[in-house]
Amino acid sequence: MADNLADIQIHKSIEDLRKEVVNLKRENNAAMLTIDKLLKDLNKKHDEIKHLQSLVSQAVPVIKKETSKLSAPVSAEEEIAQVQLEKLRLTAKTRTLTLEEVRTFDLLVKNKRLVLDESTINLGKNSYRDVGDAELLKLAAAEVSLVGEPDDE
C-alpha cells in the first residue's frame, strides 16, 4: 500500500510539472509575440523619425557662419531686412507666399531701399513719355556696342 501511495505522489507531481511546462510555454509564446510587436513598432517609429528628419533638413535651411566672407558694416535695419527677405525667398521656393507674406516682403524691400538711400518710387509708363525730343535724338545718335555679340567674330 505504501508503494502505491508513493507511486500516486510521483505520478501527481509529474502531472503538475507537465501542467507547469504547458503554462510556461504559453507565457513564453505570449512574451515572444509581444516582443515581436514592440520591435516592429520600434522599427516603424525609427523609419518615421528618419523620414521626418529628412523633411526638416530639406525644408529648414541650415544656418552656417561663413568666415571667408568679407562684409562691410551693416546697420541693424538693413541686416534684419536682409535676413527676413532671405527667409521669404526660401519660403517662396517651396510654396506660394500668403498675402501677409507678400505685404511683409513689400515693406521689407521699401525699408531696405530707404536705409540704402535708394529710390522707393516705381516709375509708371507715363513717366517715360515725358522725355523731350532733344534727349531722344541724343540717345538715338549714341553708338551702341554689345559685348559678346555673335556677329563680331
Per-residue pLDDT tens digits for 46-91: 999 999 888 887 776 666 666 656 666 777 888 888 888 899 899 8
Any idea which of 17-21, 40-44, 94-98, 140-144 has the lowest mean pLDDT? 140-144
For residue 110, give every residue at least 6 positions away whose Cβ sits within 8 Å of its Cβ, in sequence order, or none: 120
Residue 40: predicted pLDDT: 94
Q: Give me 82's grid cell.
A: 536682409
State the pLDDT at residue 67. Answer: 60
- The pLDDT value given to residue 108: 87
Report the sign of the C-alpha dihedral through residues 129, 132, 135, 137, in that order. positive
Separation CA 151–CA 149 (nearest Å): 6
Neighbours of 111 (CB within 10 A): 17
Domain positions in the chain: 1-59, 76-144
Residue 38 CB neighbour total at 10 angstroms: 10
Looking at residues 16-20, what average pLDDT do you find? 88
- Return mean pLDDT, the chain: 79
* Whether pLDDT at 153 is above 50: no
Whole-model pTM over 0.75: no
Confidence of residue 12 (pLDDT cuts 50, 70, 90): confident
CA atoms within 13 A on the CB side of 133: 0
